[in-house]
Structure 1
């Protein structure tokens, strides 16, 4: 029996495992809700909501081809054992970047069953070879959607197709009402609207909190959960770039493609924790109150609070805001970054472990230099008139522009109903810079950047 194991590839377009399995004969499409993916990890209810939305659309797409998507809850090894008991011999088809691939590989070897994995092999190779393989893969023809998917007449009882049964699977956190909706059609619509015109201000707006939510591609969550393939995005964007008449439009799309490929490369990197000697030594004792106020958007520093409140509500922030909130908690307040990192991962709808870890390490000084950002100064640059702040902090909606980034200076501040700053942000910023400068002078310089490594990764693809 040919079994397609879906995981973080929730689509039917450009899905080579599905295409090849359908060519081989009857196909059993399966998605396994593996508890180890959802329990004790940063994945949360908003991620599960997005996955269920994606699965519901995937199910309809498979049904239109004559097939049926089956679900199972349990350890992947247990599910595969039961499938093997049912069919005696199985062929497994999956993408090699599946989050469950290591378990699938080990099971297939132990049980002497065939595993056909698809996608570029980009791990543990040189930068040059990685670039060559990635470029070749991105230019390969898109895998055709099967004309028909034939499902076997005999299916084991433990598999189910009723999505209501997923309601009993509990995941920490809460769902969101205003985030992006999962599904292949939503992904394609988002790409189409980007290429039809939203890309025109891609570079200009990428650091601006509100404009970037429109001019960024907003594809990151769809890439994370595989509602759309990177190859499909690359080819459509490159096709648009070649057709552009204006040089400025070509520059915008070239920048987008550069960040798209950088994201793929970072997913393949083996992270090296090479934090400068002494960085751990300047960290302060853990302060749970500071952490909770940061997480809840109650620091009393408007740009930080607006960013965290928008993230809670929508599941997305642009790269500049991600850098700022991370730098504030880990570098300005000098708290250990592990717990804030996990909290952010739980909130980002586009949470991709490899990319997220790279980003946190980049900000906290484990890759290159620790980045200490003055939230008041940079807040003025990113949101000069306070439009973003006013949207997410209604307490400050009527505050004059000159006070919007430092409301504590407003004569009637205590009538606003907004938190007083939990720290003197200017003193905290200067103190962090002084302490970091001292260990830089004493310690060894950061490691030299290797060829092809990204200095700064913007998430706003």
Structure 2
């Protein structure tokens, strides 16, 4: 039996495992919800909601081709074992996937079953070879959608196609009402709207909280969950770039493509969690109250609170805001970044472990140069007129512009109903700088850049 294992590739277009399996004969498309994965990783209810939305659309697309998408709730190896018991012999088709590779590859070898994996192999190779191999892959023809997907007559009882059965699957966190909806069609619509005109201010608006939500591609969640392939994005964007008459438009799209390939690069790297002793020396003891106020957007520092509230509500922030809230917590407040990392991962709808870990290490000083930020100063740069702050902090909606970034200076501050700042921002900033300067004087803080990597990378796509 030919079994297609869906994971972070929830689409029917440019899906080579599905295409090849359909050519080979009857196909059993399967998605497995592993309880351990949803319990032991930062995946939360908002991710679950996005995946279910994606699966519902994927199911419909497969049914239109005559097939049927089946779902299982169990550990992957257990599911594979049950499938082998049912069919005696199985051929597994899947994309190259870091999470699946070890589990499925090991199981297939141990049980003497065939695994056919597809996609570019970009791990543990030189920069030159990586670039050549990636460019070759991105320019390959898009895998054709099967004309027909034949369903086997025998389907084991533990598989189901009724998504209502997922209602009892318990996942931590809460769903969001205002986030992006999962599904291949939504991904395609998002890419099309970007290429039809949203891209024209891509570079100019990258750091601006509200404008960036429109002029960024907003494809990150769709890439993470595979509603659209990177190859499809690259080829459609490159086609648009070649057709552009204005040089400025070409620059915008070229910048976007550079960030797209940088993201692929990071996803192919093995991210090791570094524990640098010099940085650990200056960390404070854990402060749960500070953590909760930061997480809930109640620090009393407007730009930080607006960013965290917007993330909770929508599941997305631009790169500048991500860098700011991370750096403020880890480098200015000098609190351990590991719990912060898990909390942000649970909130980011586009959470991709490799990219996320790289972000956290980059912004908390574990990679490259540590950046200590003054949130008031940065807030003025990112949101000079306070439009973003007022949208997400209604307590400050009527505050005069001159006080929007430092509301505690407003004469009637205590009538606003907004929290007083949990720290003296200037003192915290100054103290953090002194602490880090002391490390630098010891000569401990030099960090070597990894081959082919710049000191600071942004994947704001």
Residue 131 of structure 1 deviates from its aligned partner by 1.1
The 1-side partners of 2:379 and 2:133 are apart by 40
TM-score scaled by length of structure 2: 0.99
- Corresponding residue number in structure 2 for 1:213: 213
1:184 aligns with 2:155: no
Residues 108 and 114 of structure 1 are in contact (CA less than 8 Å); yes or no, is this contact kept in structure 2? Answer: yes
- Corresponding residue number in structure 2 for 1:112: 112
Residue 98 of structure 1 deviates from its aligned partner by 5.4
Residue 272 of structure 1 deviates from its aligned partner by 4.2
- Corresponding residue number in structure 1 for 2:442: 442
The 1-side partners of 2:38 and 2:63 are apart by 27
The 1-side partners of 2:444 and 2:322 are apart by 28
CA-to-aligned-CA distance 1:399-435 (integer Å, 9 cap, x gap) = 0000000000000000000000000011101110111
Residues 7 and 99 of structure 1 are in contact (CA less than 8 Å); yes or no, is this contact kept in structure 2? Answer: no
1:56 aligns with 2:18: no
CA-to-aligned-CA distance 1:7-39 (integer Å, 9 cap, x gap) = 110000000000000000110000011112201
- Corresponding residue number in structure 1 for 2:174: 174
- Corresponding residue number in structure 2 for 1:337: 337
The 2-side partners of 1:394 and 1:6 are apart by 42
Residue 454 of structure 1 deviates from its aligned partner by 3.3
CA-to-aligned-CA distance 1:54-104 (integer Å, 9 cap, x gap) = 000000000000000000000111111111111110000000125322111
CA-to-aligned-CA distance 1:364-389 (integer Å, 9 cap, x gap) = 11101111111000100000000000
1:360 aligns with 2:360: yes
Residues 368 and 456 of structure 2 are in contact (CA less than 8 Å); yes or no, is this contact kept in structure 1? Answer: no
Unmatched segments (≥5 aa) in structure 2: none
1:237 aligns with 2:237: yes
Residues 2 and 25 of structure 2 are in contact (CA less than 8 Å); yes or no, is this contact kept in structure 1? Answer: yes
Aligned-partner SS, 2:99:
coil
- Corresponding residue number in structure 2 for 1:281: 281
The 2-side partners of 1:283 and 1:448 are apart by 22
The 2-side partners of 1:241 and 1:303 are apart by 35
Alignment of 1:77-96 (within 5 A): 77-96=77-96
Displaced runs of 4+ in structure 1, greater than 4 A?
A: 272-277
The 1-side partners of 2:323 and 2:119 are apart by 31
1:164 aligns with 2:130: no
Q: CA RMSD in A?
A: 1.0
TM-score scaled by length of structure 1: 0.99
The 2-side partners of 1:232 and 1:267 are apart by 17
Residues 13 and 144 of structure 2 are in contact (CA less than 8 Å); yes or no, is this contact kept in structure 1? Answer: yes
- Corresponding residue number in structure 1 for 2:69: 69
The 2-side partners of 1:98 and 1:402 are apart by 50
Residues 8 and 98 of structure 1 are in contact (CA less than 8 Å); yes or no, is this contact kept in structure 2? Answer: no
Aligned-partner SS, 1:4:
strand
Residues 275 and 367 of structure 1 are in contact (CA less than 8 Å); yes or no, is this contact kept in structure 2? Answer: no
Residue 273 of structure 1 deviates from its aligned partner by 4.6
The 2-side partners of 1:433 and 1:176 are apart by 37
- Corresponding residue number in structure 1 for 2:399: 399
The 2-side partners of 1:100 and 1:162 are apart by 24
Residue 130 of structure 1 deviates from its aligned partner by 1.1
1:24 aligns with 2:24: yes
The 2-side partners of 1:151 and 1:389 are apart by 53
Residues 68 and 151 of structure 1 are in contact (CA less than 8 Å); yes or no, is this contact kept in structure 2? Answer: yes
Residues 8 and 225 of structure 1 are in contact (CA less than 8 Å); yes or no, is this contact kept in structure 2? Answer: yes
